[in-house]
Chain A
Amino acid sequence: MLPFERGSSLRAGELSSLMVLLSVWVLLSFSGIFPSPWDVAEYLLNIESESMFSNAMITLFNSFSGFSTALISSLTLGVLSHRFRILRGFSDGICSIFNSTSALIWSLIMVSTLGVLSPLSPILVVTAVTLPQLLSAITAALDSVDERLLEVVRSLGGSPSDEYFDVIIPSSLPALISSSRIAIGLGLRISVVAEAFGSRGGIGYMIMRSYNLANATGVLAWSLLMIALVMAMDHLLRSIEERSMRWLR
């Protein structure tokens, strides 16, 4: 199959799944369980663009700040535990404890300790949920660095920092970028949950507000906006990922 054929069949597949979901939605709306797609579309069109933009930006800010904190922490811990084996147990422990704690528990802990209106809660929840994903990906990538390539650097007179910059970081980059893409998507979804529990804005907050007002159309409209945001971000990050790994193909 030629590459463009593969691309077009993928797009056709995506389109068909969207059509199926839309048909199910239309059928459900006839039964009165769900608001109809056109009601939701009308609601979306009536949301003030300023409100839509500012809430989307709050959600993006929360997830990116949480992700960045997790990335910096896991990079530091990953590199340190790679360099000093004694820290490996500590790093593995952090991974398994954080992995075993659900986003709901983190949200409740943050809201009860920082308060309902704290802007830090959603950020820290995203950090706590994405950290184990990133840390295990970074640890695995650092462990699988090809020792033979490190020997090349040494044989050419390179220093330990050259080993890091010319071999360890570039060889870990594909895994780091892939896990970052997954973590950012996860962060966006988690941020909505955290905003629903305690925040002063964001898509999650708007979904919860619509829910509290028994406005099912609003819940669906803001949810659709969230799905579109996650998909757009995934698409953007996937293209960055592909570009950064061109040498592999």
Chain B
Amino acid sequence: MAEIVLEAINIRKSFNETVLNGINLRLESNEILGIVGPNACGKTTLLRILAGLERADDGEVRRRGKVGLVFQEDRLLPWMTLMENVCLGLKYSGARGDAAVERVLRYSDRFGLSLSDLESHPLRVSGGTRRKAAIVRALALEPEVILMDEPFTGLDFQTTSVIRSTLSELLRELNSSTIIVSHQLEELLAIADRCLIMTPRPSKIAEEVVLRGLDLEDRLERVKGILLRMIGDPSKTPVRIGEPSRI
């Protein structure tokens, strides 16, 4: 039986209204878990609670090992170069020297970040380059668990494709366990092993779909079917079902 690296038990969270209404999930080692759901159903709040940045009103989160987080926005520190940004986590963990730099350069290279990109400040590079740097910053720590909030949003087709394929390869190589929250169903389902579908507020996990062994079309069809049943008219839902990436 696979080891559980992250577990959320009966998570509840309210702001002015109930957002999360008893979420239970388990992340197994070396697994990529996708989470989808309608807008404002609390996916980001759930991720923040799992990362320890937000406190749940009720319930428990059990984590094993380091957790790396990729935020929905790039959140790079604008006064630092991309290299300094990418090395931040390593600096805090006390990792220094050639090995740390070599690790950062290796991951940066995999995402196509050049040395001149790394020497630039965030406001001087494209949104795609910033997103890649934000992902490398989380991966450079080589955490046991990686949480990603909308890693493909707001990017062109080419950048999305590079990030998707590189992420897919790297996450397998690192043996990291990953949770990805995304509205871009095709990109998410292409790399996920399992997918959880959240209901609208007050949110619960509506269904779980095991994606291993299915091709992309079957994955899309399954998840799309559940979402359509749950939400109804797709024109009224912001979740883009089976829609190709933006070009």
The chain A residues found within 8 Å of chain B, CB to CB, are 148-149, 151-159, 162, 166-167, 170-171, 173, 246-249
Please determine whether A152 and B92 come into contact, CB atoms closer than 8 angstroms.
no
Q: List, in ascending order, chain A residues with CB within 8 A of B80's CB.
A: 166, 170, 247
Q: Which of B78, B92, B123 contacts A156 (CB 8 A)?
A: B92
Cβ–Cβ contact B89 & A156, under 8 A: yes
User: With A158-B92, A247-B123, A248-B123 given, is the CB distance from A152 to B78 under 8 Å?
Assistant: no
Q: Chain B residues near A246 (CB, 8 Å)?
A: 121
CB of B73 within 8 A of CB of A155, answer no
Q: A171-B79, A248-B78 are in contact. Are A158 and B88 (CB under 8 A)?
A: yes
| A170-B79, A247-B121 known; A155+B69 contact, CB < 8 A | yes
User: Can you name 22 A-B residue pairings with CB atoms under 8 Å?
Assistant: A148-B75, A149-B77, A151-B71, A152-B71, A153-B92, A154-B53, A155-B51, A156-B88, A156-B137, A156-B141, A157-B89, A157-B92, A157-B141, A158-B88, A158-B92, A162-B92, A170-B77, A170-B80, A247-B79, A247-B80, A248-B78, A248-B123
**Chain B residues with CB below 8 A from A162, complex form:** 92
Residues of B6-38 at the interface with A, using a CB-CB cut-off of 8 Å, are: none
Check: B93 CB closer than 8 A to any chain A CB. Answer: yes
List residues of chain B with CB under 8 Å of any chain A CB. Answer: 51, 53, 66-69, 71, 73, 75, 77-80, 88-89, 92-93, 121, 123, 137, 141
Report A-chain residues with C-beta under 8 Å of the C-beta of B77.
149, 152, 166-167, 170
Chain A binding site: helix, strand, loop or mixed by DSSP?
A: helix
Q: How far is the CA of A246 from the CA of B66 in the complex (A)?
A: 35
CB distance from A231 to the nearest CB of B (A): 29
Chain B residues with CB under 8 Å of A247's CB are 78-80, 121, 123
Given the complex of chains A and B, what is the CA–CA distance between A154 and B68 in angstroms? 11
**Could you tell me the distance between the alpha carbons of A113 and B77 in the complex, rounded to whole angstroms?**
49
Give the distance in Å from the alpha carbon of A105 to the alpha carbon of B76 in the complex.
48
Distance in Å: Cβ of A179 to nearest Cβ of chain B: 18
Please, which residues of chain A bring their CB within 8 A of the CB of B93?
Answer: 157
Pair A148/B71 contact, Cβ less than 8 Å: yes
User: In the complex, what residues of B have CB within 8 A of residue A157's CB?
Assistant: 66, 89, 92-93, 141
- Give the docked Cα–Cα distance between A173 and B79 (Å): 10
Which residues in B have their C-beta under 8 angstroms from that of A149? Answer: 75, 77
Using A155-B53, A166-B88 as known contacts, list a sample of 15 further A-B pairs with CB atoms less than 8 Å apart, ordered by residue number in A.
Answer: A151-B53, A152-B71, A152-B75, A155-B69, A156-B88, A157-B92, A157-B93, A162-B92, A166-B77, A167-B77, A170-B80, A171-B79, A247-B79, A247-B80, A247-B121
Task: Name the A residues within 8 Å of B75 (CB-CB).
Answer: 148-149, 151-152
Contacts of A159 in B (CB 8 A): 92
Alpha-carbon distance A157/B94, docked complex (angstroms): 10
- Bound CA span A152–B80, Å: 13
User: How far, in Å, is A142 (CB) from chain B's closest CB?
Assistant: 16
Contacts of B79 in A (CB 8 A): 170-171, 173, 247
